Chain A
């Protein structure tokens, strides 16, 4: 029941925020803030209740299911495991920040803005929770439309173009997934006589390799566009750079993670054989993304575009790790999802606060800001360092685990990906140099972070350092999800008896 409450609070909060605008516009801010705080507290409460999931026996902490459209076998079913819980906590945490960061930035149609924020996050929450494929597709669309409005209404100068591009890319790939979902539904129905969209039942669908391959590609398409994987990334720099700060924060911090989550939750378990076949190619795409994104990030002069391309590079590690099929890499991916959400989110927030001060995103018009805004500089330094993978900050743990796991599977890709970290050093330090160091070229006075901005950024700093020094908290929470889930899908491969060898830890190579 509590799972449903998460979504209801967000959706109802959204409607209330929209209505509240009529009387007191600023009330909508408080409403959405409250909704996120309540959800965050509930999510943390679950985490604490289950003792950090260290000794949890079953994978699923909580489940909820009611019939929705029984004639088609569609249920409103939700389930929460360690991975979902981690991502929910991240969602609500970033939700609070996105409300806080928009406090002054958004002065126009405030109620509708907060409606959209709450509904995007409701969609994301649903995606992270649902175990019914039809419902999954429903939530997948729910997060798309409000995001379209967020970019299209409150974005920067080229917002319409960016919003369309975002919508078309996501929608087109989403339709492929819908086809695959329906295909899977009928195949399973024909086989067993039970027509259902239920995730757990569909897991046991038997398919010929050809069919499995095509259905897998349908899901894969939707997820790699969202992640994004080169060459399907080109919506991202436009969407990220044109969106308002809160939009960029949600896009980078959460929306991209739904792609990664989809790969982990659906593609691998539903289509184990096809995934194993695809693995070398998927990993290649990851490596290409790491390097290609790094090159592009290095040459950008629009600060938000630059950070957007760093996302492309960092998400390359996700797909690389997911298809390495071992626990080390998988835990690395989970860390990467969370730490990237924090660190890139923070960089977008910083870019937003610089934009508020000097009304440009061009780094050629920046330089030497440290003198005037040392506090902001220090915080930017920390997140730049996170982005280049400095040990002691969360991103290092993510990349290190991913790479050490990937090494066991493919040495060449790992080598190239590791070199990508050198490139990451180059583009990350370039941010520092162009914005905060060097000659002071701005003539107007810039104010250092306000109290509100400090309240947003300091917790992010604490979290990123905390994750760097005590990553075990996250690892423990996700452990139960992986160990058995991995076993299930992997043993299934073995049972299927295909020529899939790279299965269990220690057996590769």
Chain B
């Protein structure tokens, strides 16, 4: 376990070496450094995890050095390993490693090869620090580091102006959320005089009672940070544009890192949220709303990666919903499974796009089933898992748990359940719409490039995980196997059910299964059997389609509300109005100068006249005063 520090350090070293010497090494060496550092970190994670589980302790602490120590504010570079961070580092390093391997082939002709791997490594490192940090300042470091790397990677192909725009948008929008998080940190420090997460977690219940204001405000501020990074309402707008980066980046952002940071934050600080039931309801409501909005938006997209992007927003919405009802471990379970199938889908989509000359438009694809069989089968598995097809996919087990607890959990209610159920239906429609359009029908663009081993192997591994990953946690009705939640139990309390609902579980599951399957059928009817039907619907609801397509118009709204006023104000004052004031002083001085210069004209009469007039004026004043 004392190797824990190596897990974030190795990717950091990788990034460091690649930045310094990457341009001098060959691609082979660079790929070994880039993928190897994360691979090694993954191996060490296995060792550390094994150690941790066999030691049967609740937490392990590693202090690297004292970072800051000012007037009571003490923050160290210290890592805290418990079941929650273990799950996260496992997913980050393993999925991260697979994405790195995939990238070796995907980026092989790119001139920024070394730079790409440097950023990728730094991304993994930041995310590892985020989840391992034992205090909130260090977590904030990882948090911002993740934001930075997303900026660097989304704008990786920098010569396109719009990529740079998307990159800056991602960084700035998430930073708006980070402001809230920072204020939350300030308040926590003021209340506890420490920013150590464990200390806060033990002291908070003693200091505050449930339902009081301070935990509510702090929880909402933390939530503000979480919605920024996790692309939830109202800060979700950056994620669809983040597609500008190379596909492996999207996989990394959406699956293993970045967007799940918000989920982690809330789970990590769940003690505070438990003290603020209102905040929990807000979390659940945001999750439920986001999952629906993003689902509808996904239904209308043409760009393959945009569908997946909206689906990520929607799936994270599920995690927020789970957090909102206090089903902590269900949220983390769905995070893990989602990481598997979403990475798979993005990587497969990337392979499709690469095979078709960087074609993103789904409607220009088609019939790829036979041309790209490996991609087809793996994509199918990923899609099935995303749509939560019953029994065989991992997505079913993780999503089903959320559906069930959204209603049956202590804090659950019927609205959350209905939103989640409707969301499940939409999910399976847009997922299979995507699948049918891309892989079935006639071939529209010729495949010129079949993926090699480095691309297909990660896909297959992830496909297997997307199938069997769900078996670590089985519901009461199907085997009742609780390995995953037992593991998390010391960190995240289990959720208690409402009374007398247990017998209804299988009915709910049946409903969920039917809903998922009917979604597939609908997609089949509209996009495979009789595509003209879908066109008809699109025509009849054109404005709505356009509205959904633009992601519910949030971009336009924010543009009008924030971006344009800011730019307008900045530009109108480019020459600094304050400076005009000083220029006024100068002008005045020059004016007086001209005025008085006029009096010094060398003509004696004028001077005499001046003296006389001056004398009269002074005498008059003197007389008046006396």
Contact = CB atoms under 8 A, between A and B. Distances in A.
Contacts of A24: none
Contacts of B255: none
B17 interface: no
Contacts of B164: 433, 437-438
A475 B70 contact: yes
Given A328-B70, A391-B144, A421-B175, A407 B190 contact: yes
B70 A425 contact: no
Interface stretch (B180-188, B260-268, B369-377): B180-188
Contacts of B151: 429
Contacts of A237: 576
Nearest to A232: B578
A469 B569 CA distance: 37
A397 B68 contact: yes
B484 interface: no
Contact of B187 (A401, A407, A440): A407
A400 B189 CA distance: 12
A505 interface: yes
B549 interface: no
A407 B573 CA distance: 30
Contacts of B569: 295
Contacts of A471: 67-68
A19 interface: no
A429 B168 contact: yes
A414 B183 contact: yes
A163 to B, nearest CB: 15
Interface string B539-582: 00000000000000000000000000011011101101011011
Contact of B179 (A390, A397, A419): A419
A161 to B, nearest CB: 10
Contacts of A371: 159
Given A418-B183, A433-B164, A472 B159 contact: no
A2 interface: no
A26 interface: no
Contacts of B190: 407-408
Contacts of A433: 164, 168
B140 interface: yes
Contacts of B161: 438-439
B354 interface: no
Given A327-B71, A403-B186, A296 B576 contact: yes
B570 A391 contact: no
Contacts of B159: 368, 371, 437-440
Interface residues of B, number: 50
Interface in A283-313: 295-296, 298-300
B574 A299 contact: yes
Interface in A424-473: 425-426, 429-430, 433, 436-440, 469-472
Interface in B149-185: 151, 155, 158-159, 161, 164, 168, 171-172, 175-176, 179, 182-183, 185
A391 B141 contact: yes
A439 to B, nearest CB: 6
Interface in A213-257: 230-231, 233-234, 237
Interface size class of A (residues with CB under 8 A): 35 or more
Nearest to A440: B159
B110 interface: no
B510 interface: no
A422 B176 contact: yes
A326 interface: yes
A310 to B, nearest CB: 13
A414 B576 CA distance: 25
Contacts of B570: 295-296, 298-299
Contacts of B171: 425, 429
A437 B158 contact: yes
B158 A370 contact: yes
A440 B159 CA distance: 7
A433 B579 CA distance: 28
Contact of B185 (A295, A404, A419): A404
B477 interface: no
A281 B430 CA distance: 57
A404 B189 contact: yes
A327 B164 CA distance: 40
A505 B179 contact: no
A385 interface: yes
B148 interface: yes
A415 interface: yes
B500 interface: no
Contacts of B73: 328, 401, 404
Contacts of A415: 183
B175 A296 contact: no
Contacts of B576: 234, 237, 296
Contact of B186 (A368, A390, A404, A422): A404
A471 B76 CA distance: 11
Contacts of B67: 469-472
Nearest to A429: B168
Interface in B563-609: 566-567, 569-571, 573-574, 576, 578-579, 581-582
B362 interface: no
A422 to B, nearest CB: 5
A70 interface: no
A436 B70 CA distance: 38
Contacts of B68: 397, 401, 471-472, 475
A392 interface: yes
Nearest to B177: A422
B66 interface: yes
Nearest to A469: B67
B312 to A, nearest CB: 23
Nearest to A235: B582
Contacts of A234: 576, 578-579, 582
Nearest to A479: B70
Contacts of A374: 23, 115
Contacts of A439: 159, 161
Interface of B: 19, 23, 65-73, 77, 115, 137, 140-141, 144-145, 148, 151, 155, 158-159, 161, 164, 168, 171-172, 175-176, 179, 182-183, 185-187, 189-190, 566-567, 569-571, 573-574, 576, 578-579, 581-582
Q: List the 3 closest A-B pairs by CB distance, nearest first.
A: A391-B141, A407-B186, A327-B71
Interface of A: 230-231, 233-234, 237, 295-296, 298-300, 326-328, 331, 368, 370-371, 374, 378, 385, 390-392, 396-397, 400-401, 403-404, 407-408, 414-415, 418-419, 421-423, 425-426, 429-430, 433, 436-440, 469-472, 475, 505
Given A421-B179, A470-B65, A472-B69, 8 more contacts: A234-B576, A295-B566, A327-B71, A392-B144, A408-B190, A414-B186, A419-B179, A422-B172
7 contacts: A295-B566, A299-B571, A326-B71, A327-B70, A407-B187, A422-B176, A469-B77
